[in-house]
Amino acid sequence: MSTRREITEDGKELYFDHGAPYFTANHKDVMALVCEWEAKGLVAEWKESTGIFDCVATKFIGIEKEGSSKKYVGIPGMNAMCRAMCHEPGVEAKFGTTVGTLQWLEDKNLWSPKDLDGKTLGHFDAMVASDKNVVSPRVTAVTGRPPPLDMSLVQELAPKLEEVPVLPCFCVMLAFSEPLSSFRYL
């Protein structure tokens, strides 16, 4: 979940949410956290319809109808929850650092991420990978480096990750001089 900020030529600041456009929650423990975020003003229900534009058929398909699971968005942007969690007691946030590799330290039962130069970034009890590509050989094709997570270290995770679908897509971030009052599906 990310919010990108851009400044226009006339000095106006624009915000673009990209990554996850919204999220859903079905597990009771996660819903409790979402309710807490909602009470703090970090999230709100999103009631907009979503769909996919089929470039070949030149029309929108798969438009979600009312009644599907409740969707939430971050307020003021999708990174609101992440920013709030960075200020929780015991959390140390690091920004502007690229993790090059992740190493599992069996003897210490800890994760040890390293930056692109091989410098250790610390030792951690848990690790969250927000993208299946941390184990994908496609990373090597793009970066010339091996995937950051060596699946031989966590063999029980490999079959589970294979089940996660990856649909490549492009994200277009547009700003309009006037608000769009209505949008018609083709």
Q: What is the CATH number of the domain that holds 57?
A: 3.90.660.10
Q: In which domain, by residue range, is 47 found?
A: 3-86
Structure-token pair, residue 60: 């929108």
SS3 state of residue 139: helix
The amino acid present at 26, given as its one-letter code, is: N
* Bridge partners for 72 per DSSP: 23, 45
Identify whether the C-beta of residue 113 lies closer than 8 Å to the C-beta of residue 124.
Answer: yes
In this model, does residue 8 exceed pLDDT 70? yes
SS3 state of residue 47: coil
Structure-token pair, residue 71: 């969707």
7 plus 81 within the same structural domain: yes
Identify whether the C-beta of residue 73 lies closer than 8 Å to the C-beta of residue 24.
Answer: no
Burial profile 101-118: b = 16 or more Cβ within 10 angstroms, e = fewer? bbbeeeeeeebbbbeeee
pLDDT for 101 = 76
- More confidently predicted of 41 and 165: 41
SS3 state of residue 176: coil
Pairwise CA distance, residues 12 & 172, whole Å = 19
Last residue of a domain, one of 86, 121, 142: 86
94 in any annotated domain:
no
Pairwise CA distance, residues 96 & 76, whole Å = 22
Q: What is the pTM of this model?
A: 0.60
pLDDT for 186 = 43
Identify whether the C-beta of residue 136 lies closer than 8 Å to the C-beta of residue 129.
Answer: no
Domain count, the chain: 2
At 73-121, the pLDDT tens digits run 999 888 898 889 888 898 877 777 777 777 878 899 888 888 888 899 9
Last residue of a domain, one of 32, 52, 86: 86
Q: Give the pLDDT band of residue 185 (cuts 50, 70, 90).
A: very low
Identify whether the C-beta of residue 115 lies closer than 8 Å to the C-beta of residue 103.
Answer: no
Structure-token pair, residue 22: 């919204």
